[in-house]
């Protein structure tokens, strides 16, 4: 089937292949018995010139994986290692996915990566498949994160494949799908760790230069590229972690192979949105010690950045690499404060005021366990929201003495100029949320009746919320390919705020975090 003419917005740029075959394995996609298109993200497709494909061509390229014009001739299963729950695993790599294509969208180089596309040399005995439920969950997670101002990978396509899979963590046999996501980069922290493990300094240096050229070009003139890249990656990651915290999002599996150099949220597995700000809230049933719980996410990512620093130390200056991470927790706290202010629909008042609000907000909600989504909904607009909040279902609680400090902080702030946002947000009596009970109900409609209506309606509601809020303060520069520049820094990001343990970020990392600087055993 010939590919229809693609518009000028289709700008192929396959660059990963330039790194050489030490970084990947050429693989063939699986052949599936059926191809039922379940989701096509027209909004994302338009950014990379794929929106004019008809459904047949869409499936041909994004489920059968016929190469796109002038792009990668064959899929690449990428090689990497990683720490999984802080245990080093040298047997990782793309086990059920591959890099399919790379395209320019404005200044950004974006990847099309797959999940459930078949076995690779790194499948480790797995079947290389993805459940349809897993694809739907990732779609819902990505859409809600995007609406709440998180820099996140997006689900471009979901195609059901007609296979029946056996899984221990969901009723089986269960339906299968192949998914394609669109994101900045599939260069993971574990990509660097693998080269350090192999003591391959030549390719480690090449990977640093490649990452700088494609994703952080403003660093090109730096004398110490490894330290400059680490500092930029830490700032980009801090913005994402801060946005997670403001959204109440719990990634679930913050392993180093699930973190990429451009810092966006991706490869989330058993994710959840926390109903309140309980720091011990955990998403993954297998995270029995709460290593990746809501409140420990900033520390967990800091530990991962330390492992990246350890890998880069083979070609960089260790003291300089250490200094590159010094501002990470301050950046995370400031990012959370900025995104919380935006989510509450409050006018900007500077970093100090945002930090003050963050401290009282997190303290009151953690102590009271008030529902995060409801509080943000009720008090959207600050002083302009008082009458509405007091008339709502939690109105009596908002008049209690223990809520008074937060009420005063909210009423001291005026509403942001967000156009029709209040009209859209308050068109419904309940906040638009994505808690686990609703996620399960959305999947049940598909599993029991093959009814996709509830998922379609939910995505539409989430997108209305996102459109009403507008791009968050952390997302707008990210969409423009400006991932880290100091000129984009929020006020005060370079300073470690006082009393950090009392703010919205996790407490200072425990001594155990420093132990992760030990090189992995070979």
Catalytically active residues are: 257
Rg of the chain in Å (alpha carbons): 22
DSSP-derived secondary structure for 288-345: TT-TT-GGGHHHHHHHHHHHHHHHHTTTS-HHHHHHHTTTHHHHHHHHHHHHHHHHTT
For residues 465 and 472, is the Cβ–Cβ distance under 8 A?
Answer: no
- C-alpha to C-alpha distance for 21 and 1, rounded to whole angstroms: 30
**118, HSE (Cβ side, Cα atoms, 13 Å):** 18
- C-alpha to C-alpha distance for 66 and 35, rounded to whole angstroms: 14
- C-alpha to C-alpha distance for 393 and 391, rounded to whole angstroms: 7
Tokens standing for residue 34: 């059926």
Mapping DSSP onto H, E and C, the string for 21-75 reads: CCCEEECCCCCCCCCEEEEECHHHHHHCCCCCCCHHHHHHHHCCCCCCCCCCCCC
For residues 264 and 151, is the Cβ–Cβ distance under 8 A?
Answer: yes
Q: Which 8-state DSSP code applies to residue 181? A: E
- C-alpha to C-alpha distance for 347 and 382, rounded to whole angstroms: 9
Q: Which 8-state DSSP code applies to residue 423? A: H
Three-class SS state of 442: helix
What is the rounded end-to-end Cα distance, in angstroms, of the chain? 48
- C-alpha to C-alpha distance for 327 and 312, rounded to whole angstroms: 18
Of 312, 314, 131, residue with least CA distance to 232: 312
Tokens standing for residue 388: 């509405």
- C-alpha to C-alpha distance for 122 and 67, rounded to whole angstroms: 22
């Amino acid at each position: 089937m010939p590919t229809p003419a693609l518009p000028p917005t289709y700008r192929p740029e396959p660059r990963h292949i330039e790194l050489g075959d030490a970084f990947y394995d050429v693989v063939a996609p699986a052949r599936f018995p059926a191809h039922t298109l379940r989701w096509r993200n027209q909004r994302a497709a338009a950014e990379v010139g794929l929106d004019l494909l008809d459904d047949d061509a869409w499936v041909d390229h994004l489920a059968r994986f016929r190469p796109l014009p002038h792009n990668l001739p064959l899929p690449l299963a990428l090689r990497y290692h990683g720490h999984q729950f802080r245990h080093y695993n040298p047997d990782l790599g793309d086990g059920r996915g591959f890099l399919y294509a790379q395209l320019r969208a404005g200044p950004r180089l974006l990847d099309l990566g797959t999940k459930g596309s078949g076995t690779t040399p790194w499948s480790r005995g797995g079947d290389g498949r993805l459940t349809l439920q897993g694809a739907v969950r990732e779609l819902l997670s990505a859409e809600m994160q995007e609406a709440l101002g998180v820099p996140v990978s997006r689900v471009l396509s979901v195609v059901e494949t007609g296979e029946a899979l056996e899984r221990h963590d969901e009723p089986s046999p269960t339906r299968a799908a192949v998914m394609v996501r669109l994101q900045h980069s599939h260069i993971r922290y574990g990509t660097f760790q693998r080269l350090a493990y192999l003591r391959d300094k030549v390719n480690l240096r090449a990977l640093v230069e490649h990452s700088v050229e494609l994703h952080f070009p403003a660093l090109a003139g730096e004398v110490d590229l490894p330290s400059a890249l680490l500092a930029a990656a830490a700032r980009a990651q801090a913005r994402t972690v801060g946005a997670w915290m403001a959204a109440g999002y719990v990634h679930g599996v913050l392993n180093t192979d699930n973190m990429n150099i451009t810092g966006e949220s991706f490869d989330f597995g058993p994710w959840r949105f926390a109903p309140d700000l309980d720091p011990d809230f955990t998403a993954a049933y297998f995270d029995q010690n709460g290593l990746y719980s809501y409140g420990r996410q900033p520390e967990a990512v800091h530990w991962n950045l330390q492992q990246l620093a350890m890998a880069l130390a083979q070609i960089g200056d260790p003291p300089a690499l250490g200094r590159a991470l010094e501002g990470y927790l301050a950046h995370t706290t400031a990012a959370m404060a900025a995104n919380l202010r935006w989510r509450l629909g409050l006018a900007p008042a500077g970093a100090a005021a945002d930090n003050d609000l963050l401290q009282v907000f997190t303290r009151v909600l953690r102590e009271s366990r008030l529902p995060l989504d409801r509080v943000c909904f009720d008090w959207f607009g600050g002083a302009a929201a008082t009458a509405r909040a007091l008339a709502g279902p939690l109105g009596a609680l908002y008049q209690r003495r223990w809520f008074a400090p937060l009420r005063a902080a909210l009423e001291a702030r005026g509403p942001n100029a967000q156009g029709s946002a209040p009209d859209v947000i308050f068109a419904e009596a309940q906040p638009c949320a994505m808690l686990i009970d609703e996620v399960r109900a959305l999947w049940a409609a598909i599993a029991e009746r093959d009814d996709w209506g509830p998922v379609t309606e939910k995505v539409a509601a989430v997108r209305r919320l996102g459109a009403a809020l507008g791009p968050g303060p952390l997302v707008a520069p990210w969409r423009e390919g400006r991932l880290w520049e100091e000129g984009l820094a929020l006020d005060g990001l370079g300073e470690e705020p006082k009393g950090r343990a009392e703010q919205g970020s996790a407490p200072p990392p425990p001594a155990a975090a420093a132990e992760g600087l030990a090189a992995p055993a070979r």
